[in-house]
Structure 1
């Protein structure tokens, strides 16, 4: 196995949502020193520390669980140039970041950005406040719907959507009740990810299509 003396790391800030690529070298993780990475906004995202001679301990804040996790990985895995590894939440196995080869990391982030741009163009996302946030909200709503957990109080799962620049309106095709899902900030994404189900409350007036201004 070929070992590099540096590694790249990328993880979204749990406070502002900014995605930054940081590089670490072998000297920053020497001895018993703890190397901390902060976002430009000042929030600490992650810390690294050697654990013995062959392992590295990674302590990071998880926006899914709203708490810190610690994972221990082989040192050779962290500094390899042959792979790009995924940092996941140990409870949900959701992707929170990447570490490994800088070149592979840049390629993956560029691929994701191109994919987002392509989807945004196809769906006419040019007018959205933040197309990436809108896509993340839509993606999570899709996951909730796939689990059968997106429905109306009337019992219907037949839900339509209307897209706006900063929100998504869910419309029940059975009783015309509606629900507004904010989709313009990182906080909107985090709030939705903490939801196991999304329920449209029935309008007070039967058959009314007026938006009741309910936010999740």
Structure 2
């Protein structure tokens, strides 16, 4: 019988927040020696090692609670695959298994910030929950269209949420666009934009006040 020792791991990066699938084979693992699983942005989003080739240890810096979680699995569990790995708060942070199965698992997930907000119970945190939800969905649309760009040419963009604003940061040059999400005017300002340009090494604001002055 042919045993598939290839594993696919889909992990949301703790730094940039994006999900990418990484493929490894169990033959890569050496006893008591970690190998890193890196995001496209360069961040190490997980480490895995084997202990005596019987137990496998997976460390994941959690994007949800910002703690590092340690999970241990037997060889049999890894070979069976289809593992959904969760934070202690119940948030899904990793899918592990056969590459085809992992892709199917990801299809069933809403890859948007709205779901993350709901799962992390952030609704008591934001100044205006409705405006924040609509704003992050608009930003996600722009990102998927390739319409969030940096003057330096770098494509790795990080997105951070605060109670009253969203900060979009270039992970290469540290340029930042700060987008306020407190009022209908803030959202209408964002809605009117076809793209967001981050300027190299600069910190700039997109808000209703600036929008009205520009008009």
Moved more, 58-67 or 11-20: 58-67
Larger Rg: 1
1:19 CA drift (Å): 0.9
Alignment of 1:7 with 2:10, yes or no, is no
- CA–CA separation in structure 2 for the residues paired with 1:35 and 1:67: 19
Distance 1:52 1:151, change over 3 A: closer
Corresponding residue for 1:202? none
Corresponding residue for 2:64? 64
Where do residues 125-204 of structure 1 align in structure 2 (5 Å cutoff)? 132-133=112-113, 135-136=114-115, 139-140=118-119, 143=121, 161=130, 166=135, 186-188=159-161
Which consecutive residues of structure 1, in runs of 5 or more, have no partner in the other structure?
Answer: 117-131, 153-158, 169-181, 193-208
Q: Summarize deviations over 1:28-70 as a string: whole Å, max 9, x none.
A: 1133332111111111010000022311001110122212121
Corresponding residue for 1:29? 29
1:164 CA drift (Å): 7.7
3-state DSSP of counterpart to 1:72: strand
Match of 2:102 among 73, 81, 105: 105
Distance 1:160 1:9, change over 3 A: closer
Match of 2:82 among 72, 81, 84: 84
Corresponding residue for 2:152? none
TM-score after normalising by structure 1: 0.56
Alignment of 1:44 with 2:17, yes or no, is no
- CA–CA separation in structure 2 for the residues paired with 1:210 and 1:110: 34
- CA–CA separation in structure 1 for the residues paired with 2:132 and 2:24: 41
1:161 CA drift (Å): 3.7
- CA–CA separation in structure 1 for the residues paired with 2:43 and 2:32: 23
Contact persistence 1:38–1:46 (CA under 8 A): yes
1:2 CA drift (Å): 7.7
Contact persistence 2:31–2:52 (CA under 8 A): no
Which consecutive residues of structure 2, in runs of 5 or more, have no partner in the other structure?
Answer: 141-157, 164-183, 187-206, 208-215
Contact persistence 1:48–1:57 (CA under 8 A): yes
